[in-house]
Amino acid sequence: MLNKLLYILCLSCFVLACNQGQPKDDFPDFTDEQLNKMLKSSPEYHKTLQEQQQQSSTNALLNDLEKRYQEDTSNINTTFAYAHQLCLQCIRAKTKYCTESIRLFTQVIDQDADFKEKKPYYNRMLCYKQLKEYEKASEDIAVFVEYYAPKPIVNHYAVQAELFYLQGDSIQACQVMQKAYQIDSLPFDSLSWHGSCL
């Protein structure tokens, strides 16, 4: 026991002696007030602060919608509004919200398949796409595109084409993309693969 104590004492003296000879670093010493002032003048600080405030506001909205949904789960408007907010979070790469959003959109569709001109199908498709469940996403966008066939919108076809491409069906993707080009010849720069269809 005495040997261990002497060993620890010697080791402590050695460490202390080594630390006393260390040169002081050239980094200036700042007060907490100076550090806070520098931090607050940084653009990243303001961006982070704004993001935190937005997240706090979003959380409050989600909590309110969840409460309203729990009070009356059969209210289709509240269910859609809650599902839509969850879907927005899902799209922002917060996939923990996707499954609940899909469940709620399915509930809305089961209550009224034509609700808000089939928008629950489109929004549910976005969640499926985020989860990389491309086959289910394709089924939903197909319903949506068919509904809007009399008054086609180029973006709907572009999304449908992208889903075919993500599933590995480039032939079908190009066929649908051609429909999009017939409606509007706008460049689809965000779709890196579309050039192979031209």
Per-residue model confidence as pLDDT tens for the chain (198 residues): 555 544 565 555 555 555 555 555 566 676 777 666 666 677 776 677 677 777 788 888 899 999 999 999 999 999 999 999 999 999 987 788 999 999 999 999 999 999 999 999 999 999 999 999 999 999 999 999 999 888 877 788 888 988 999 999 989 988 988 887 777 655 555 556 555 666
The reported pLDDT for the residue numbered 12 is: 59
Number of alpha carbons in the 13 Å side-chain half-sphere of residue 73: 6
Contact 105, 128 (CB under 8 A): no
Instruction: Compute, in degrees rounded to 10, the torsion defined by CA atoms 29, 30, 35, 38.
Output: -90
**CA distance linking residue 54 with residue 184, whole number of Å:** 36
Q: In which residue are the tokens 């009399």 written?
A: 150
Phi, psi of 197 (to 5 degrees): -90, -15
**Cβ atoms within 10 Å of 71's Cβ, excluding its own:** 9
- Which residues have CB under 8 Å from 54's CB, separation 6+? none
